[in-house]
Amino acid sequence: MIRGIRGAITVPKNEENVILEATKRLFDEIIKENHVKAEAVAQVLITVTHDLDATFPAKAMRGLEGWQYVPVMCAQEIPVPNSLPNCIRVMLTVNSEQAQSEIKHVYLEDATKLRPDLQLTKDR
């Protein structure tokens, strides 16, 4: 079965190391919560808001063991007025036996405002 896993995180500033650390943290949490193996991932789409241009967040994935062959694409988020700034969003397309309702989407920092209905019950 093919499933989508969503996630997002905000960063305090537009600096390469800040963006890469936040992206890695987000991926680590998605991987852990959903027991994702790189070989089960068909593709990853990462978007950033227009105020984040210091680096490609996909660079953070290249440091994860086994993820170097996963296709990743970065894009800019639609600049909707009054949308959440400094935000990195991800969508993983994965092969999974989990039901759609069992997928754990991960929203961290101020990105928790985006989908409060999908928040995990544990504290972050």
107 noted as active-site residue: yes
89 noted as active-site residue: yes
Which residue out of 6, 21, 25, 33 is catalytically annotated?
Answer: 6
Which residue out of 74, 97, 102, 124 is catalytically annotated?
Answer: 74
> 97 in helix, strand or coil?
coil
Q: Residue 39: enclosing H or E segment and its boundaries?
A: none
Which residue out of 3, 29, 87, 89 is catalytically annotated?
Answer: 89
Which residue out of 39, 62, 102, 124 is catalytically annotated?
Answer: 62
115 noted as active-site residue: yes
Pairing of strands 41-48, 106-108: unpaired
* 1 residue type, one letter: M
Which residue out of 29, 87, 107, 109 is catalytically annotated?
Answer: 107
- Euclidean distance between the first and final Cα of the chain, in Å? 29
25 noted as active-site residue: no
Which residue out of 21, 25, 33, 115 is catalytically annotated?
Answer: 115
Which residue out of 3, 29, 77, 87 is catalytically annotated?
Answer: 77
Give the chain's largest Cα–Cα span: 38
Active-site amino acid positions: 6, 62, 74, 77, 89, 107, 115
